[in-house]
């Protein structure tokens, strides 16, 4: 006769624990729901309204004229964004700016983070000083650099001529071949400290014991960097690249201060603003949706890279 298996004392504890977890989960959802409702109201409602307007001929201050449903004409029609040469140019300009600035900011930010993370006298002061460009409001720093770039009284032309690097003043902002480089340099100067701060946070969580063990095994500084620092810093690198890429794709203020609404230097955000200012809310909403999808594409790419890297 087989004996009935005894119920272990752990079983009731597991049941009590599961009930407690369900109660905690329910309580968590109850506490989070008001915040989710607010987010839905202030974020998803305007987004949904923009998507709706993108399928119409909505005009700003249209008066009594009824709004017409256009379907996909704002996207794929004869006058849709797919045939909009100026919008395509703004995409190219924005992507070039993003690639230039994010690349330089990552490399320079990594170098600064590695330097600041090392032990030397005055490290705390250097950490505070390096954040000054990032702390200055973008419009203020853009206007300051615009004066510095001036071809008549700008200090950049004066310094370069004194150093005999150039022989006459250069209109850095006005010339098409130097305009993008000029605005990119300002963004790199301002935002590199932010990237360095993110990478520094990643460096400080790497255990020092790993470097000590590597030195005992005879690994050089370069080998430690490639085999320890970079692999363990990869999550912080991806976060920095995501933040900076998305921010660069939405750039508006620094370009607007430098160039206003110049057709050859318009970013996607500036082109969208000009469209809506001209009263074409429906077409401007379609452009906003297209910008949202382009940014979303980059988010998907980064999320895929992060997911593959974690496997």
Domain layout of the chain by residue ranges: 52-83+279-311, 92-266
In whole angstroms, what is the distance from residue 146 CA to residue 129 CA?
23
Residue 154 token pair = 């700008």
In whole angstroms, what is the distance from residue 239 CA to residue 293 CA?
20
Residue 157 near residue 242 (C-beta atoms within 8 A): no
In whole angstroms, what is the distance from residue 187 CA to residue 253 CA?
11
State the pLDDT at residue 208.
Answer: 85
- Phi, psi at 172, each rounded to 5°: -60, -40
Residue 148 token pair = 């510095």
In whole angstroms, what is the distance from residue 149 CA to residue 158 CA?
10
pLDDT (tens digit, 9 = 90+) per residue, 105-116? 999 999 999 988
pLDDT (tens digit, 9 = 90+) per residue, 85-97? 999 999 999 999 9
In whole angstroms, what is the distance from residue 230 CA to residue 163 CA?
39
Ramachandran sector of residue 3 (left: φ over 0; alpha: ψ -120 to 50; beta: rest) = beta
State the pLDDT at residue 260.
Answer: 87
Class of domain 92-266: mainly alpha
Kindly state the percentage of the chain with pLDDT values over 70: 92
pLDDT (tens digit, 9 = 90+) per residue, 49-100? 999 999 998 887 766 677 888 889 999 988 889 999 999 999 999 999 999 9
In whole angstroms, what is the distance from residue 72 CA to residue 82 CA?
11
The model's pTM: 0.83
**Number of residues that make up the chain:** 311
Cβ-proximal residues to 91 (8 Å cutoff; 6+ apart), any chain: 268, 294
Taking 70 as the threshold, does the pLDDT of residue 305 lie above it?
yes
Task: For residue 59, list its beta bridge partners.
Answer: 280
State the pLDDT at residue 23.
Answer: 85
How many other C-beta atoms lie within 10 A of the C-beta of residue 299?
12
> Closest by alpha carbon to 242, among 98, 94, 130, 47?
98
Averaged pLDDT for residues 165-179: 89
Distances (CA, A) of 188 to 125, 144, 153, 185: 21, 15, 23, 5
Residue 289 near residue 51 (C-beta atoms within 8 A): yes
Alpha helices in the chain (DSSP H): 10-39, 45-53, 73-76, 85-117, 123-130, 132-135, 138-148, 155-162, 176-203, 208-216, 221-224, 230-249, 253-259, 268-277, 281-310
């Amino acid at each position: 006769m087989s004996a009935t298996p005894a119920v272990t004392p752990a079983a009731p504890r597991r049941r009590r624990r599961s009930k407690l977890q369900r109660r905690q989960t329910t309580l968590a959802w109850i506490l989070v729901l008001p915040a989710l409702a607010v987010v839905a109201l202030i974020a998803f409602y305007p987004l949904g309204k923009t998507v709706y307007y993108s399928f119409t001929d909505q005009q700003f201050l249209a008066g009594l004229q009824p709004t017409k449903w256009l379907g996909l004409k704002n996207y794929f029609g004869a006058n849709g964004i797919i045939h909009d040469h100026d919008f395509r140019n703004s995409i190219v300009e924005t992507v070039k700016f993003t690639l230039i600035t994010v690349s330089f900011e990552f490399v320079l930010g990594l170098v600064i983070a590695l330097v600041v993370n090392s032990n030397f006298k005055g490290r705390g002061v250097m950490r505070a000083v390096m954040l000054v460009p990032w702390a200055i409001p973008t419009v203020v720093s853009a206007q300051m650099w615009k004066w510095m770039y001036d071809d008549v009284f700008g200090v950049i032309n004066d310094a370069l001529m004194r150093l005999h690097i150039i022989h006459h003043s250069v209109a850095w902002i006005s010339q098409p071949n130097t305009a993008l480089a000029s605005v990119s340099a300002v963004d790199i100067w301002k935002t590199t400290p932010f990237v360095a701060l993110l990478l520094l946070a990643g460096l400080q969580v790497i255990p020092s014991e790993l470097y000590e063990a590597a030195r005992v095994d005879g690994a050089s500084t370069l080998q430690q960097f490639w085999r320890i620092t970079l692999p363990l810093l990869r999550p912080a690198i991806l976060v920095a690249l995501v933040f900076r890429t998305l921010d660069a794709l939405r750039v508006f203020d620094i370009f607007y201060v430098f160039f206003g609404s110049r057709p050859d230097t318009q970013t996607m955000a500036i082109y969208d603003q000009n469209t809506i200012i001209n009263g074409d809310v429906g077409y401007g909403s379609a452009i906003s949706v297209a910008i949202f999808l382009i940014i979303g594409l980059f988010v998907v790419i980064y999320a895929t890279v992060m997911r593959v890297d974690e496997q």
